[in-house]
């Protein structure tokens, strides 16, 4: 389920979910308070990556891109139990 949850979260944040995908996302989110906590932790990281004036300016000035592999790593890291981190 972790991979499915990761895909649902990323799809939701990027606006790529179908209606069925949105239904699955909201069902997963409302299933457990830990799911909500995980989602908002991941959303905070996602929003922080996008919060600069312009994504283009960020990439030019810092030479960075929001790498999907790094983003997936963050999702998986944040989904670990807190005592393992």
Please say whether the beta carbons of 42 and 75 come within 8 A: yes
> Is residue 60 situated within a structural domain?
yes
Domain count, the chain: 1
Please report whether residue 10 resides in a domain.
yes
Task: Give 80's DSSP letter.
Answer: S
The domain in which residue 68 lies consists of 2-78
Torsion angles phi and psi, residue 48, rounded to 5: -65, -35
Q: What is the pLDDT of residues 2-23, one digit of tens each?
A: 678 888 999 999 999 999 999 9
Dist. CA 26–CA 52, nearest whole Å: 28
The answer to whether position 85 is within a domain reads: no
65 in a structural domain:
yes
Share of the chain above pLDDT 70, in %: 61
Average pLDDT estimate for 25-38: 93
Please check whether residue 52 is in contact with residue 65, taking contact to mean a CB–CB distance below 8 angstroms. no
Residue 59 phi/psi, 5-degree rounding, is -65, -40
């Amino acid at each position: 389920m972790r991979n499915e949850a990761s895909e649902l979260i990323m799809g939701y944040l990027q606006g790529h979910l179908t209606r069925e995908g949105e239904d699955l996302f909201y069902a997963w989110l409302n299933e457990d308070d830990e799911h909500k906590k995980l989602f908002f932790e991941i959303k905070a990281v996602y929003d922080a990556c996008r919060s600069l004036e312009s994504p283009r300016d960020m990439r030019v000035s810092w030479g960075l891109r929001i790498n999907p592999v790094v983003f997936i790593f963050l999702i998986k890291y944040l989904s670990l139990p807190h005592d393992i981190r």
